[in-house]
Amino acid sequence: MNKKLLRYTVGIAMLAIVIPVTLTSMITIEEAVNADNPITKKWVGDFGGIPPLDKVKVSDFKPALEMAMADKLSEIEKIANNTEAPTFENTIAALERSGQMYDRVQTMFGIWSTSMNDEEFQKVETEMAPKLSEFDDKIVQNEKLFSRIEQVYNKRESSNLTPEQQRLVWSDYTYFVSAGAKLKGEDKKKCQRSIRNLLLFHKVRTESSC
């Protein structure tokens, strides 16, 4: 056999072995991180389960928030890029179902923020505050997502929706509009700065009252 061909064949064979092992290792590491973090786990028990408050460490919050934000943004992108015409089910209901991990993490984060806000936790809050604000902006300023919400909103009275569904459509639309989703250019930037300043003011007042 030609030596070059032999080396090429051996190289391909080695890649066939190494690549699956490497990918498997990456997946295993990600699963291990998730498994070791009690904040990201699904709650166990009736009525949505009970949060594992006794197992949480302050050091768990940053990776949990980062993982939960990435998870929700991935779900948001799927909703925003849906090629089907916007409906209550594939837009509003899908938005309502999204971010379950994020909701669990934020619930735990809120408990620590209001009840166990020591110096160690405040450092995490300070570090994550701009990241959480940026995360909210990515959702509210997602033009494809808002366009779908607006289309459902404009047809809400002719889409055979229940009063409860119409209320949810109105609530989502109003929230996005109040957060500046319909603004353009400099007006949008001013609105974003105002919201960030209000969040920072609220955080400072909360910490000073502890």
Nearest one of 111, 36, 94 to 67, comparing CA atoms: 36
Mean pLDDT rounded to a whole number for the chain: 82
Do 16 and 54 lie in one domain? The reply is no
Residue 29 CA to residue 32 CA, distance in Å, equals 5
**What is the reported pTM?**
0.75
Q: Are residues 68 and 2 in the same domain?
A: no
pLDDT band at 82 (very low <50, low <70, confident <90, very high): very high
Q: Looking at the structure, tell me whether residues 136 and 182 fall in a common domain.
A: yes
* 109 lies in the same domain as 10: no
Residues 133 and 149 in one domain: yes
Pick from 137, 138, 131, 134: which is nearest to 66 by CA? 131
Each residue of 5-33: pLDDT tens digit? 444 444 444 444 443 444 344 334 344 44
> In terms of residue numbers, what domain contains 32?
1-36
Instruction: Give the pLDDT of residue 176.
Output: 95
Q: Are residues 58 and 132 in the same domain?
A: yes
Same domain, 25 and 52: no
> For residue 92, what is the domain's CATH number?
1.10.1370.40
Report the domain count for the chain. 2
Residue 186's pLDDT is: 75
Q: Where are the alpha helices (DSSP H) in 37-93?
A: 61-80
pLDDT (tens digit, 9 = 90+) per residue, 186-202? 766 676 666 666 656 55
* DSSP 8-class letter at 44: B
User: Is there a single domain that holds both residue 29 and residue 130?
Assistant: no
